[in-house]
Amino acid sequence: MDIASLIKNRASETYDLHRRYVNPQFVRVLEVIGFNRNYCTAHGARLIDEKGREVLDFLAGFGVFNIGRNHPLVARVLQDMLNCSGPSLVQMDVGVISGLLAEALAAIAPGDLEAVFFTNSGAEGVEGALKFARQATGRHKVVYCKRAFHGLTLGALSVNGNEEFRSRNEPLLPGCIPVPFNDLDALEAALSGRDVAAFIVEPIQGKGVFVPDDDYLPGVRRLCDTYGALFIADEVQTGFGRTGRMFAVNRYDVTPDLLVVSKALSGGYIPLGAVITKREIHSKVFDCMDRCFAHSNTFGQNDLAMAAGLATLHVIEQENLVERSARMGEYLMNGLKELAGRYELLHQIRGKGLMIGMQFGAPRSFTLNTGWKLLHKMNEELFCQMITIPLMEKHHILTQVAGHGLDTVKILPPLIIETADADRFLGAMDRVLKDAHRFPGSAWTTVKDLGLRTAKTA
Ligand SMILES: Cc1ncc(COP(=O)(O)O)c(C=O)c1O
């Protein structure tokens, strides 16, 4: 079998294959917004499509490619690993490489977190953390935040604060209590019955990129200690340098009881995640030999994922990517704030490091405001497409809308971006914003037509 020829020969059928066998609705979305390019190769922060066009990737596979795409060191380590013909997944044995990755994770994890459970995804890590918390405390209730995103399996969905994901799945797990993010009084009220197993929170919320006040996470730590609840920090998205620190909790100088990581850990090559917890919590779950598999999975410790994890951590350290994320993030935030001062549709820039949200809102000028209102009346989700579509179509930059009904566009570039990439993005944003501030104008007509087309084909 020649996989490269197979891919090349059948590339023209990509969208038909997905329409027929995978997810036709997603294919329609890509076609409608003009994101249906056939990408052939990728390096670092760049994707190359079949026409040879280079797209600047400011999405990084939803935060998977912190070290950039196809990093040569991780690729070489994976090839070496394959050449070793190693004894992966013996199951009734333990491997050296998973021990080494666990050691490396414990070394960078905050405080005394050192017991590692490997997973295949972020949601699986959240499931594990919820189970560990329930077993370790003997309680079943879990407090979570409104707008939280922790994955889409049923347990993770039960602590997901977004109606669009929860609906059609209820009833979900009992005893899951929502509280507003960044509200310590509400958290205290929810924990004060002393019957809650855990509070789960993203240190910086991914949907909409909401950053808490500086005293929030230290306050969470204090309240969890006071009421005997465990503190689960979901750093699936914020981990491994994304926010300008190795983990976002480092910024607030707090140690959670359980830390969930995934996404960037394997350099984007292989599904991988981990729950890193205190030994005393782990020991309460795995408390005797009969319970050595009290929670387990089949593929968690596979050698290729472990090798990719070790190589990725090496790259993050060697290339100073945490520091670079902080530096480039500040550069981009400053540039975007300058644009927000000049363009009235752009209200606020939120974020830390290279996790940045651009919040749009109603403009003051009368005509532009009329456009804003008309568009929102037609469809609450449309406005951000006026930013993401031209960024892709005219400037070849891939970005995403940050959540339903939020009017926020989000960027999550690889941490390896250079000043020239940031300048290219800021220049493109300037031009896109200029077009968006002309009402009536072609930018508004394009999204209005898009709204009409989607309404007709819904
Ligand atoms: C904070 C957070 N937790 C959990 C998840 C779920 O991860 P996965 O998609 O790997 O299941 C995500 C995914 O975006 C996430 O951002």
User: pLDDT by residue (tens digit) across 118-156?
Assistant: 999 999 999 999 999 999 999 999 999 999 999 999 999
> Mutate which of 159, 162, 237, 259 to test ligand 1's pocket (most atoms within 8 Å of Cβ)?
237
Rounded to the nearest angstrom, the distance between the alpha carbon of 262 and the centre of ligand 1 is: 8
Can you tell me the distance from the alpha carbon of 396 to that of 53, in angstroms, rounded to the nearest whole number? 8
The residue nearest atom 13 of ligand 1, judged by CA position, is 151
Cα 207 to chain centroid distance, Å, stands at 9
Distance 350 CA to ligand 1 centre (A): 20
d(CA 149, CA 394): 31
Q: What is the DSSP letter of 44?
A: B
Question: Which alpha helices (H) appear in 271-406, and where do they start and end?
Answer: 279-285, 303-318, 321-342, 366-378, 385-393
- Residues 292-334: tens digit of each pLDDT: 999 999 999 999 999 999 999 999 999 999 999 999 999 999 9
Q: Which two tokens stand for residue 56?
A: 């600047």
Kindly give the distance from the C-alpha atom of residue 355 to the centroid of ligand 1, in angstroms, as a whole number: 15
Mutate to test the pocket of ligand 1, among 124, 127, 263 (most ligand atoms within 8 A of CB): 263
- Ligand 1 centroid – CA 231 distance (Å): 18
Task: Answer whether residue 272 shows pLDDT above 60.
Answer: yes
Give pLDDT, residue 175.
98
Residue 91, token pair as written in the block: 């199951």
H/E segment holding residue 43: strand 39-43
Residues of the chain above pLDDT 70, percent: 99
Cα of 82 from ligand 1 centre, angstroms: 28
Return d(Cα 135, Cα 282) in angstroms, integer: 10
Which ligand 1 atom sits nearest the alpha carbon of residue 153? 11
| Helix, strand, coil fractions of the chain, as percent rounded to 5 | 45, 15, 35
* DSSP letter for each residue of 348-372: EEEEETTEEEEEE---SSHHHHHHH
Which atom number of ligand 1 is nearest to the Cα of residue 62?
A: 14
**Residue closest by Cα to atom 4 of ligand 1:** 150
Q: Which atom of ligand 1 is nearest to the CA of 121?
A: 10
Mean pLDDT of 216-230: 98
Please check the confidence at residue 61 and state whether its pLDDT lies above 70: yes
Nearest ligand 1 atom, CA 238: 1
322 CA from centroid of ligand 1 (Å): 20
Ligand 1 centre and the CA of 419: distance in Å? Answer: 29
Phi-psi region of 143 (alpha: psi -120 to 50; beta: other; left: phi over 0): beta
The pLDDT score that the predictor gives to residue 457 is 64
> pLDDT class for 283, splitting at 50, 70, 90?
very high
Closest ligand 1 atom, CA of 123?
11
The rounded Å distance from CA 18 to ligand 1 centre is: 23
70, pLDDT greater than 80:
yes
**So what's the pLDDT on residue 453?**
81
Amino acid at 22: V
Closest residue by Cα to atom 3, ligand 1, is: 150
- What Rg, from alpha-carbon coordinates, does the chain have? 23
Using the mean position of ligand 1's atoms as its centre, give its distance from the Cα of residue 260 in Å.
10
pLDDT at residue 458 is higher than 60: no
Q: Please give all residues whose beta carbon lies within 6 A of any atom in ligand 1, as ranges.
A: 62, 121-123, 126, 149-151, 202, 206, 234, 236-237, 262
Which of these, 214, 226, 156, lies nearest to 187 by C-alpha position? 226
Mean pLDDT, the chain, integer: 97
DSSP states along 140-205: -EEEEETT----SSHHHHHT---HHHHTTS-S--TTEEEE-TT-HHHHHHHHTTS-EEEEEE-SSB
List, for residues 391-442, the tens digit of each pLDDT value.
999 999 999 999 888 999 999 999 999 999 999 999 999 999 999 999 999 9
